[in-house]
Chains A and B, each alone.
Chain A
Amino acid sequence: MTITRRRFIKTLGAASALSLGGTPFLALGANRQIVIIGGGIGGTTAARQIRLIDPTIDVTLIEPKQHYYTCFMSNEVLCGKRKLSSIRFDYTGLKALDINVIHDKATHITPNRQKITTKGGKTLSYDRCIIAPGIDFKWESIDGFDEKTARIFPHAWQAGQQTEILQKQLGSMPNGGTVIITPPSGPMRAPHAPYERASQIAHYLKQHKSRSKVLIFDAKIAFPQQALFFQAWEKLFGYGTHSSLIEWYGGPDYALIRLDTASHTIITVAGDRHTGDILNIIPAQQAGHIAATAGLTDTSGWCPVDLHTFESTQHKGIHIIGDACIANPMQKLGSAANSQAKACAAAVTSLLNGRAPGPAVFTDVAYSTMGEAYTFSTVGTYRLAKGSNSLTRVAGGSTPSDASATHLKREAAYAESWFNNLTKDTFG
């Protein structure tokens, strides 16, 4: 292995920084190490941002997959508006920044020894560890449903192969068929997205299989931007009429408890049975698996953190960002993960350089596309109140219900640009 000029300059910077600190001999050891687990939006953004803030820190990203498929815009794949390849990203942008990307699965973290072990048998040491493990499913919450069954009854709540399965099922479903979507109770990734999905599927059915229906059996009694969704469904899909393409039933009675795979039937808490050609079963969620095995989750199944740094309140030196952490009232969204990753990257580099982390401003953005030239958005900007560990939404809001057709059309175009820019900002 030859030393690159870049690496040399980098090392030089580290040595000079440390030599002034009065502990020059420490500089003779290795560079400071940040290891990031998870190559989704949060982990990838964190890796990039740390490199941009302080090139003297070694950054390693552990991610088993070669590609990442964004969940945002994956509903547009279902209706055929986008190709699956348009939501696929890889790690060449990170590698170009001299970030060490290891395609392996992190299996264990030992917080008191600051070590990570991988499935491939590697052991990595870190000064700070950031985990962005995304979500895991509570398979046990639905009797008869598991990871294997999900290949036939896709959740499509992690994009990629699951998206493709659902898209293919829609393509081969006969006209007059029924699509059932079952949103879960509890905190979840992209809480507005089941309803955007229903809209995108209805948009597809309206054009190609207009005698079909989308039925939503929802464990929740209400959902985000409900009024805007209902308004769009009324305008576009006849919602509320006998011939509506979408029907929504929500409340604890409608929660799914059992799946009968043989008859394509869901059974709700109330004991009702509903049969569909396609069952899009979205199970209840919790923080990605490694968070629980490393002892970073609380009884809610999510990770409590100090929101100034995203450091775990349960284990020092480990930071959790993205869907897995508790950062209410921010939503579990790609944009939120990107925003948290930036704050975390700044905090972690500050801590390693002996400085106090600066005050962060957080942003999340969700677009919901209903059909052609009909998109609405919800944005939020959040700050930490001084001396507290809670976020306050200081600005934001949704598209107004009286928005003009021009407004909705522009939001549709902005959604496309937002996708381009968010992914560029994340993957490089």
Chain B
Amino acid sequence: MGKNNQNIHFVVGLGSCGIAAGAKDLYEELASKIKNNSNASLSHTSCNGMCFKEPILEVFYPDGNRLMLGNIHKKDLDKVLEPLLNQKSVDEKFVVENSRQPDKKEKFQQKQHKIVLENCGIIDPDNIVPYLERGGYKAVKKALGTMSAEQVVDEIKASGLRGRGGAGFSTGTKWQLARNNKAEKKYMICNADEGDPGAFMDRAVLESDPHKVIEGLIIGGYAIGANYGYFYVRAEYPLAIKRLKLAISQATEKNLLGDNILKSNFSFHLKIKEGAGAFVCGEETALIASIEGDRGQPRLRPPFPAASGLWGYPTNINNVETLASIPWIINNGSATYASYGTPKSKGTKVFSLAGKIARGGLVEVDMGIPLREIIYTIGGGTSSGKSFKAVQLGGPSGGCIPESLLDTPVDYESIAATGAIMGSGGMVVMDDDTCIVDVAKFFLAFTQKESCGKCTFCRIGTTRLLEILEKITAGRGDMSDLEALEDLSGKVKDLSLCGLGKTAPNPIITTLKYFKDEYEEHIKDKKCRAGVCKDLIDFSVIEKECTDATCATKTVL
């Protein structure tokens, strides 16, 4: 972190979330306030996962003590800077952690186990040195220097790591398939087209620890025999792209990328491709079409990309979180990794916790932990204090899980048994103020808009499903609509080519399964108990209490 031990060192978290909460203003103000103070220094890191505490300021004292302040804004600096510089206490409302009070631990950190996120919010992501100091690129050295490519594949297979992008296919097996296909050229691609609304772990990892993902990609390239790699990153993540570009140039300078990496026989060249805003490009054949400069439409598999991918060459595509797990597995051994989690879902998984949750942010836990512990123990329950209604898992391909199933362990099979999917790990918590029919409508509006239009049932089926939901939420539904929803959902699932269409009906299927009474209320009673569906709400002014003639329109909006 470039800390001088004689100094009081300040660190501000500058991830996208932090910046949105005001961390950049805080950083600049602090920089100007301490610029003439030779006893104080300042640097930045990215995201430590505690989004609900942003902006976050950490203070490191020469005596080794450390203080973490949260929800601290530029305007608060006048109050806290003097005491901080003089090692005096500050207003407790800002203090998240204090090494002098070891029992004052942030509840959000309970039950967490950080492998993928081990450096996030700790290192300066714009600098390669802190990453190297924390053991960075040791896994590349170990793999290239002491292991054969086959051994690397076997190690990843033995770790039990499964694709963290959602599908959950064995990463080692995927590598093996790509390795087995002999060709003059092969490609290794990192899928950073994190399109699920509600999931932001890939953005956070790329912004906070870009070198870790690059390291995973190099090892993957070595394992399958690919000398060329791509990052396919969403255009909506400009900060991630900027940090990644910088990290690639730093790694190239140190000969961790390029020809004959670390004097080995292995060469690996890495490029960034920016996406242009199409959810379907998260699907691997659509992603390949997009890199090739085409409209991002999926094609039939087989042939799988492992046999014929980018420009027709064998190609392997892994998600950001999957690749970020690789260096740890190589360094610590597959057996250690496999000792975490459940028999079928090994290791840890990162979830992004958002919606009506008291402590929202990024959470990394061992696979198999019950949903309830993530939502209540770590997340602190609903932010509103109202009753928990459902948690939406897996984005538009996923489903809503009710309170009665909160003891479900988070592993691929158990989550799938509820009708939802693990997906990339987005968890959006909903309380009594959320209308479940409206949520289903929201997701269908999303998939309908994002359907690439190739398959009839995805293109037109999602449109018809959306129309039915619009009719119900407008109070014009009848009971036969529910049958139509079920029937058409099944057809869209069966008759679509790619994952987008195959999973698009999931939000409807799960909400109909667990919350049918809410649909029936909308249809029979013309009532939306959450007060969300505007057409089903009657507004009237309570004249006795009305003090502002315009307030009613403000509320109705």
A binds B: no
List residues of B whose CB falls within 8 A of some A CB. Answer: none
